[in-house]
Amino acid sequence: MIGRQFDDSADNRHEEHHLFPRDSAGQQPTTAARLTGALTKGVSLVRMVPKKRRAHPELHPTPLGRVVACHIYRDGRRDPRPVHHGDALRVARDHRDSFAWLGLYEPTAPELSKIADVYGLHPLAVEDAVTAHQRPKIERYEDTLFVVLKTACYVEHDELTATSEVIHTGEVMVFLGRDFVVTVRHGEHGGLQALRSKLESQPEMLRHGPAAVLHAICDQIIDDYLQVTEKMEVDIDTIEGSVFNRSLRPDPGKVYQLKREVLELKHAVAPLAAPLRTLAETDVTGVTPRIREYFRDVADHLEQVTERIARFDELLSSILQATLTQVAIVQNEDMRRISAWVAIAAVPTAIAGIYGMNFDHMPELHVVWGYPAVLSLMATICFFLYRAFKRNGWL
């Protein structure tokens, strides 16, 4: 944890001061003297190795994997020199037409709070970015925009079952300021590395500042939506073809599961329409008129996705209804088949029951041809009943 690393550093400085006090002139001992004293007093030499001083001691280092990337962009091109995420904003503000792009992956509350102190992020937005599971939205906090986007990816599978997971969703939160972009990603997909490389090959777009980064993120996420809908359409066509296939038993569970996955995608896509309209049609701080044109194109793509999802939902409702009808038909056929065999079996059962009463004065009990005659009667009646049920489609 960040706080723990800071406490350990403070403990090291305290211990170092205790072991190596200043001399009478107020000067710290030399490194050689420190090492000699450490050997004498049995202190680990590893702890006495001086650490590199950070430019921003109030912003402590995050654990490996939290800070995915941190770069400075000047006039549309990335500064090749590495920069610490605590210095990025200050460096960007020291140069005209520059901005910092900080990428984070599932930061904890203490980690994001430290970064929020440097970038001036609103506490409510920081809380939303940490807890995740937010609806797509856009919020304004003075000169900073906070945008929540839902990511989606298609889960490959060999066969759709009643428990198949077709859609995985995640989240990307974007803090947009005049000279910085902070992206917070949740989920195992939706990485922005490829997007970052693509943008760096288009300096004319990056010259528009942080808003160009927000547009590129929205565009990539909606393109992913389109790919997901194309693959889901294949699953829907497969299920639709199997509904009226008499050789396959209808399975409503598959249809209902796919309908739930479509609903999950709908929850990720539908609320995004309002934020995109805001970015495309409203004068938003940091979004230039030129970038608003690009957002209108993204909004148009989102409308296509929304229409597809609505069509999928309606089609799956019809398929589910047809599947339930097919199940009822199959059950009705089973009941007719069972009823036919019961009727056929009832004839010999009734005759055998009558002759099983063993009264002394019953016809044909004491004649030689009685037994084969009764068996022949049973077989004949059963045969004619079987032919009748077969002709009517009950068997």
Do residues 217 and 245 share a domain? yes
In a domain, 61, yes or no: no
Of 78, 120, 75, the closest CA to residue 101 belongs to 78
Do residues 343 and 314 share a domain? no
In a domain, 17, yes or no: yes
Do residues 340 and 322 share a domain? no
Two structure tokens written together for 351: 């005759």
In a domain, 57, yes or no: no
In a domain, 298, yes or no: yes
Do residues 195 and 316 share a domain? yes
Do residues 113 and 239 share a domain? yes
As for how many domains the chain has, the answer is 3
In a domain, 172, yes or no: yes
Do residues 22 and 140 share a domain? no
In a domain, 362, yes or no: yes
Do residues 377 and 249 share a domain? no
CATH of the domain at 131: 3.30.460.20
In a domain, 55, yes or no: no
pTM, 2 dp? 0.70
CATH of the domain at 350: 1.20.58
Per-residue pLDDT of the chain (395 residues; tens, 9 = 90+): 333 333 444 444 433 444 344 444 444 444 334 433 433 344 333 333 333 333 333 333 434 348 889 999 999 899 998 898 888 999 999 888 899 999 999 999 999 999 999 999 999 999 999 988 889 999 999 889 999 999 999 998 888 888 888 999 999 999 999 999 999 999 887 788 899 999 999 999 999 999 999 999 999 999 999 999 999 999 999 888 888 777 777 788 888 899 999 999 999 999 999 999 989 888 887 788 888 889 999 999 999 999 999 999 999 999 988 888 888 888 888 888 898 899 888 888 888 887 777 777 676 667 777 778 888 888 998 898 888 888 888 87
Do residues 320 and 347 share a domain? no
β-pair partners for 167 = 154
Gap between the Cα atoms of 69 and 110, Å rounded: 19
Domain end point (choices 277, 304, 327): 327
Do residues 323 and 374 share a domain? no
Do residues 92 and 36 share a domain? no
DSSP track, 131-198? H----SEEEEETTEEEEEEEEEEE---SS--TT---EEEEEEEEEE-SSEEEEEEESSS---HHHHHH
378 lies in which domain range? 335-391
- The residue type at 57: P
